[in-house]
Chain A
Amino acid sequence: MNWIWFHKLASPPHAYGIAGRLAPWFGWPAGMLILAGLYGGLVLAPADYQQGDAFRIVYVHAPSAWLSMLVYATMAVAAAVGLVWRIKLAHAVAAAAAPIGATFTALALATGAIWGKPMWGTWWVWDARLTSELILLFLYAGVIALRASIDDRDRADRASAVLAIVGVVNLPIIHYSVYWWNTLHQPATLTKLGKPSMAGDMLWPLLAMLLGFTLYFGAVLLVRLRAEILRRERDAAWLRAELA
């Protein structure tokens, strides 16, 4: 098998160019899907039979929660690739992903609290789902802080990669918390197998938002990766040639 394309991709100049060309292909569809999803979810979808209009926060909450986990998985895989194959670009991907994931996690927790107050009667409870999602936020914060606290780039890459990989254990706990333990949080509405527990005219805006958020993550990751490459390669000859 020919791996030249792969090694090319791992070289900063190529990755810098490819990321710049790819980003709009994620960004524009993301913007359109999110606009369509917001219109469908906030205007077209009917109110829920028992939650009323307050259910509409699901259109931000569920995609944020999904992204909080997808970004962590992306970051951990990139960190593992960087650790095992010594690919610096993979560490750059992990470094670029961490703040995005932390933002989505914070957004999921905040929208969940705003939802919880009128629906459950409380902003916060220490049930397994909410607590494990809060631990995810702390994991992101730990990865970001650890990277920032070590001056030597290679050591910072390796140390934060190990922490990111350790934290992967939390992902299945978050996902299965609502099945393994009695929690206040309800089980998943969308599952891979089986019919979604949501009416069709409420469902399609949610799917549009999920896909839109995911593509948005792709676009922001590519843009942040370019910035990360610029920071890491600031003394490189190719960059001087590129910017000249």
Chain B
Amino acid sequence: MTPRRKRLLAVIAIVAGVGAATALAMFAFRDNLLYFYNPSQVLAGDAPSGRTFRIGGMVTQGSVQRTPGTLEVRFVVTDFRHSVPVRYEGLLPDLFREGQGVIAHGRLNGGGDFVADEVLAKHDENYMPPEVAESLHPPTPAQAAE
């Protein structure tokens, strides 16, 4: 084996070895690498109980209820299979709205509600002008009547 081939094999071995080690480590920590749990995972009991975690999903259309005069807001987060009601008191990001992806940080209370202390908006990878968005999602009759 020439010295050059030896060095080439050494470089390949480094990449393969570090890659395998990283893959194993990521496999071992895969649950900790999840930034949020979706409602199905929460209802299946995969989310940690008794400590805080994050829940992510879509805000269900028509589910947002605000208490007048306060910052209290209730809404339902869904992954289109299961839903979890969320309670939150505080400022919401500009992108927060019904039908929008959100990630809330908090814990489950005894009644199955998720009590959030932070709500972040998750925007998607689609970019389009407002006219295009409107033509894709025509306003509902209720909105059109406004």
Contacts and interface: CB of A to CB of B under 8 A. Distances in A.
Interface of A: 46-51, 55, 58, 80, 83-86, 118-122, 125-128, 162, 165-166, 168-169, 173, 181-184, 186-189, 197-199, 201-202
Interface in B94-127: 94-96, 100, 103, 118-127
Nearest to A199: B128
Interface in B46-69: 56
Given A182-B38, A184-B122, A169 B103 contact: no
Given A80-B11, A168-B15, A169-B15, A184 B126 contact: no
B14 interface: yes
Given A83-B11, A182-B34, A198-B127, A125 B19 contact: no
Contacts, number: 115
Nearest to A121: B93
Contacts of A165: 11, 14-15
Interface of B: 4, 7-8, 11, 14-15, 18-19, 22, 26, 30, 33-38, 56, 91-96, 100, 103, 118-134
A187 B127 contact: no
B134 to A, nearest CB: 8
A202 B128 contact: yes
A121 B122 contact: no
B18 A166 contact: yes
A202 B127 contact: yes
Contacts of B91: 121
Given A120-B123, A169-B19, A49 B129 contact: yes
A128 B119 CA distance: 18
Tell me which of A50, A126, A199 has the highest count of chain B C-beta atoms within 10 A of its own C-beta.
A50
Contact of B125 (A126, A181, A189): A189
Nearest to B90: A121
Given A119-B123, A121-B120, A183 B128 contact: no
A127 B125 CA distance: 17
A100 B38 CA distance: 39
Contacts of A168: 15
Contact of B93 (A120, A128, A188): A120
A126 B120 CA distance: 13
